[in-house]
Amino acid sequence: MRLTTLTFSSLLLVSLVLTGCFPEQIAAANPEKKTKEVKTEAPKVKEGRELATFGAGCFWCIEAALDQLEGVDACVSGYMGGKTENPTYKDICRGDTGHAEVVQVLFDPKKVSYDKLLSYFWKVHDPTTLNRQGNDVGTQYRSAIFYHSDEQKAKAEAQIKKVNESKVFKDPVVTEVSKVEKFYPAEDYHQNYYEQNKNNPNGNIGYCRYMIAPKLDKLGLEK
């Protein structure tokens, strides 16, 4: 009997999808690709703009979705909600810093409302799984809304109530709603991750193609 064998590239693709949000493994598979340790700056609020901060599992996914919305000026991936100062991604991956992977969004409320951002937040991840999104497991992947004002807090809590009552999900929402804390921008290689890697043969094509792209398709956004 002739056995069908997978090529090395196919095995690598499968492993990258199954292991989830771990760029160190990508770098190991592609030693010629150097990852930058430079930190991106947090979004700077200007007149007529507001900030929103969401945790929805791996920040690559929610950044790719929210960044496409009209009225969104910037999306920066980073860390929030923990006790460790100036955490690195390796710190976060240990799962003991208390930080969540988040995306901080600078938006124009005249063009896109906070409620609309929340509507995409619910659709881009499963808010009923505690400290887990698919194969990404740990408190750093928890579902979280960090509010920047009492108005945002009220809207987040109202939407959670509405989502639970609608029975859109089989299980109740476990999303954390907390006051915004210090935001630590993630390393440079995490920023605009999907756009930089979706067609990059030396990047994480597998995760982009099989994890992020289907979510964008579901939301009717550009892949």
Six token digits for residue 25: 């493994």
Catalytic position from the list 21, 58, 61, 75: 58
Residue 116 makes CB contacts below 8 A (sequence gap 6+) with 69
Residue 95 and residue 141: Cα distance in Å, rounded? 9
Residue 151 and residue 62: Cα distance in Å, rounded? 22
For the question of residue 58 being annotated catalytic, the response is: yes
Question: What strand order describes the sheet that includes 143-147?
Answer: 176-179, 143-147, 50-56, 100-107, 72-80, 184-185
Show which residues are catalytic. 58
